[in-house]
């Protein structure tokens, strides 16, 4: 009860005046989109019988992680009578009838507060549900569905403030694996990927949905979320589409620089990460690059590119960079890997936090830093506490919190990123949303 009273004090601020706090998780990868959880008072290891489950609630299918803000949890899911597992294929598009939904729950009790739903036939590969984590900001929540349905809703009630269908607005087909680029709020702009000639990246007025600018052309838009960095005396919008990694002026969309970086199957997925002057991006097909950014202007040059014996090639989860090291999951080997940032030399790798020891492509764990250790949600449904250093992987404890309900290459997987807020972990699979207490006693 004491923990619950403290939670109420933390989240009592009105939804109409949301202020992003370090103890909230209002968007993909957290308040600063850096996968760092800055709350203190978090347990060091799990009790013998595992962390305390505060509540569970049923949800539908989807890869979209939850967002947590102003005492509420927002989840985007999919309801269908079709056999999603049977229709999941990397080489063909499924045809499904169903509804996408936006659900809102009370973060303390798990009580459902509202839901908004709309008809949404799927014609994509792996049709489990939406891919993009909702974005919550200043009393509003934005969602992007797998077939390009973009909504702005009132966070308190679920009332639709505006909506846009990206396929219709930009005359494009859904990407093979659906629309996946987690929307970014930047000032008055909402930035995401659409596709088409001259409209790979788009910026809309976040409050009205009206277009502010469109930019870039490529055969496919890719799946990578937009990233804002500050370097070379300028704010730079980094867009990695299916053919190149680009830097734009986020206000005008004018191009600063562009470097070819073409992953297989158009699968630019994991967000580029910056550490000091070095920007890293990588994906499927032994395609990765570390760029050195100019200090005095927006410009970049290739420091190194990976090959079969060097680098790291992430997909489902975005890597973490610190202390001259890249920590991330390699989509080809299926391992968690540490790589030297300066030259791409591999330091170590392990299958334990990804597939649990079984070799398999696209082994996945979602890494979040808290203090001097990491919380990792494994594709096996285990929440893991571990230390990652240049010397190796040190597991502190693990607990099974969800069943892996998805499927890939003959194995069951959980490929939805969790949220960390109010001293809790909020995670979902294709059947339920769970709230796990991680508060120190």
Please write the tens of the pLDDT for every residue from 43-78: 999 999 999 999 999 999 999 999 999 999 999 999
Residue 408: per-residue pLDDT: 96
Contacts 24+ apart (CB under 8 A), 11-15: 11/70, 11/71, 11/107, 11/108, 11/422, 12/71, 13/70, 14/70, 14/139, 15/70, 15/72, 15/139, 15/155, 15/156
pLDDT average, residue stretch 153-159: 98
Show the domains of the chain with their CATH numbers.
Answer: 2-437 (2.130.10.10)
Residue 98: per-residue pLDDT: 98
pLDDT at 6 over 50: no
How confident is the prediction for the chain on average, in pLDDT? 95
d(CA 176, CA 333): 23
Both tokens of 439, joined, read 């508060």
Q: How confident is the model at residue 236 (pLDDT cuts 50, 70, 90)?
A: very high
**What digits encode the pLDDT tens for the residues 376-410?**
999 999 999 999 999 999 999 999 999 999 999 89
**What digits encode the pLDDT tens for the residues 294-348?**
999 999 999 999 999 999 999 999 999 999 999 999 999 999 999 999 999 999 9
Residue 421: per-residue pLDDT: 98
Q: Are residues 393 and 9 in contact, defined by beta-carbon separation less than 8 angstroms?
A: no
Residue 111: per-residue pLDDT: 98
pLDDT at 12 over 50: no
List of residues 6+ apart from 388 with CB closer than 8 A: 320, 327, 336, 338, 367, 374, 394
d(CA 152, CA 102): 11
Max Cα–Cα distance, the chain, nearest Å: 56
Residue 165: per-residue pLDDT: 98
Residue 356: per-residue pLDDT: 94
**What digits encode the pLDDT tens for the residues 278-287?**
999 999 999 9
pLDDT average, residue stretch 230-241: 98
**pLDDT > 70: what percent of the chain?**
95
Paired with 314 in beta bridges are: none
Q: For residues 258 and 17, which has the higher predicted lDDT (pLDDT)? A: 258
Q: How far is CA 222 from the centre of its chain?
A: 14
pLDDT at 5 over 60: no
Residues in the chain: 441
Q: How confident is the model at residue 235 (pLDDT cuts 50, 70, 90)?
A: very high
Q: How many CA atoms lie within 13 A of 430 on its CB side?
A: 24
What pTM does this model have? 0.94
Q: Are residues 142 and 108 in contact, defined by beta-carbon separation less than 8 angstroms?
A: no
List of residues 6+ apart from 34 with CB closer than 8 A: none
Among 161, 181, 82, CA closest to 116: 161
Among 105, 113, 99, CA closest to 145: 99
Residue 3: per-residue pLDDT: 44
pLDDT at 184 over 70: yes
**Could you tell me the CA-to-CA distances from 381 to 182, 232, 401 in Å, in that order?**
23, 41, 6
**What digits encode the pLDDT tens for the residues 72-115?**
999 999 999 999 999 999 999 999 999 999 999 999 999 999 99
pLDDT at 181 over 80: yes
pLDDT average, residue stretch 231-258: 98
Q: Are residues 123 and 174 in contact, defined by beta-carbon separation less than 8 angstroms?
A: yes
d(CA 2, CA 59): 28
């Amino acid at each position: 009860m004491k923990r619950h009273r403290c939670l109420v004090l933390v989240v009592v601020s009105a939804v109409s005046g949301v202020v992003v706090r370090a103890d909230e998780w209002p968007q993909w990868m957290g308040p600063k989109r850096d996968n760092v959880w800055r709350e203190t008072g978090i347990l060091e290891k799990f009790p013998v019988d595992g962390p305390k489950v505060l509540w569970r609630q049923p949800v539908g299918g989807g890869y979209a992680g939850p967002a947590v803000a102003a005492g509420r949890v927002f989840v985007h899911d999919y309801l269908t009578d079709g056999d999603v597992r049977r229709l999941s294929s990397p080489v063909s598009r499924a045809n499904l009838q169903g509804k996408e939904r936006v659900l809102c729950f009370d973060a303390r009790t798990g009580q459902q507060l509202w839901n908004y739903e709309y008809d949404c036939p799927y014609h994509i590969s792996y049709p489990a549900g939406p891919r993009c984590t909702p974005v919550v900001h200043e009393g509003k929540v934005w969602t992007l569905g797998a077939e390009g349905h973009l909504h702005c809703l009132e966070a308190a009630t679920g009332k639709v403030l505006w909506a846009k269908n990206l396929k219709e607005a930009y005359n494009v087909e859904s990407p093979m694996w659906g629309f996946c680029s987690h929307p970014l709020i930047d000032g008055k702009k909402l930035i995401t990927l659409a596709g088409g000639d001259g409209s790979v990246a788009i910026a809309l007025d976040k409050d009205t949905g009206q277009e502010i600018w469109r930019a870039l052309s490529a055969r496919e838009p890719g799946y990578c979320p937009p990233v804002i960095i500050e370097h070379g005396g300028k704010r730079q919008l980094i867009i990695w589409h299916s053919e190149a990694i680009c830097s734009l002026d986020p206000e005008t969309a004018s191009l600063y620089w562009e470097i070819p970086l073409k992953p297989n199957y158009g699968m630019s997925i994991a967000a580029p990460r910056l550490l000091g002057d070095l920007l890293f991006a990588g994906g499927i097909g032994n395609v990765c690059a570390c760029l050195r950014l100019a200090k005095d202007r927006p410009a970049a040059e290739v420091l190194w590119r990976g090959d079969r014996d060097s680098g790291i090639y992430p997909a489902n989860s975005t890597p973490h960079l610190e202390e001259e090291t890249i920590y991330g999951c390699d989509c080809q080997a299926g391992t968690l890997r540490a790589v030297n940032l300066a030259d791409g030399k591999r330091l170590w790798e392990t299958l334990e936090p990804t597939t649990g020891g079984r070799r398999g492509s696209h082994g996945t764990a979602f890494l979040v830093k808290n203090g001097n250790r990491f919380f990792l949600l494994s594709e096996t449904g285990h929440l893991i506490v571990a230390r990652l250093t240049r010397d190796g992987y040190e597991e502190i404890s693990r607990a099974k919190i969800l069943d892996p309900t998805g499927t890939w290459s003959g194995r069951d997987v959980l490929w939805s990123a969790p949220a960390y807020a109010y001293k809790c972990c909020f995670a979902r699979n294709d059947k339920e949303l769970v709230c796990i207490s991680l508060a120190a006693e």
